Amino acid sequence: MKHYIFSAIILTAVMAGSAAQAQKGKKGFTKLFDGKTTKGWHTYGKTTVGQKWSVQDGALYFNPKGGDKSQGGDLVTDEEYSNFHLKLDWKVAPKANSGIIFYVKEDPKYGQTYSTGLEMQVLDNDGHPDGKITKHRAGDLYDLVKSSSEPVKPVGEWNTAEIICKDGKLEQYLNGVKVVSTTLWDDNWKNLVAGSKFATWPDWGTFKSGKIALQDHGNDVWYRNIMIKKL
């Protein structure tokens, strides 16, 4: 009997330690998605969320068949962020494309999130045509910086993405692996932009504070466990 009691005590201690470690890992982070509602989000340029976005099994799900075109559009946070550490999980359907867009300036004169915001690519590398384009694959800083490696999981499986922006230093992680590291807004950054599709886009990549967006690219995509820490 003493043996079983001792074992139970040890097991309880181990579980408590694991729980404490898990809580420590989330210290300072705030949930951007409660897993049940779209509270804290709206469609870019609107005050509500279009019907193509819904909550499915604890994830934000974009359903391209969920209503007419007017019910789509990129989701954006209600709040703006400057220095931050963003974490989330994503998965895509076969042949799907989406993206995590940040430093988005919501203003009628820009029209779209990608008119101002930088994008961490979300993609089925093998099934979508963008997978054949350098700097357009999953984990890339879209059209600017190619991932140093590709730890992306097979289509249909969850991937964990992290974006860390601190005083112009940008790092992107995919499934725990750092895949992008660069500096924003310096001369090298200006050269990167000049050599990209955004070269002639006024104000693109210039804002040091902005909203975070989940892209409607017309394909099935899911996002969950979305949290952020202000740095």
**Interior CA angle at 34 toward 33 and 35, to 5°?**
95
Percentage of the chain beyond pLDDT 90 is: 86
What pLDDT shows up at residue 133? 98
11 membership: H or E segment, kind and range: helix 2-25
Does pLDDT of 147 surpass 50? yes
Condensed to tens digits (0 to 9), the pLDDT of residues 177-193 reads 999 999 999 999 999 99
Q: How confident is the model at residue 8 (pLDDT cuts 50, 70, 90)?
A: very low
For residue 149, the SS3 value is coil
Condensed to tens digits (0 to 9), the pLDDT of residues 115-142 reads 999 999 999 999 999 999 999 999 999 9
Q: If phi over 0 gives left and psi between -120 and 50 gives alpha, with beta otherwise, what is residue 87?
A: beta
Q: Report the distance separating Cα 174 and Cα 162, nearest Å.
A: 7
Condensed to tens digits (0 to 9), the pLDDT of residues 48-99 reads 999 999 999 999 999 999 888 889 999 999 999 999 999 999 999 999 999 9
Q: Report the distance separating Cα 138 and Cα 148, nearest Å.
A: 11
Mean pLDDT of the chain: 91
For residue 114, the SS3 value is helix
What pLDDT shows up at residue 6? 39
For residue 57, the SS3 value is coil
Contacts of 201 (CB under 8 A, 6+ apart): 115
Given CA atoms 117, 120, 124, 129 in this order, what sign does their dihedral have? positive
CB 86 within 8 A of CB 162: yes
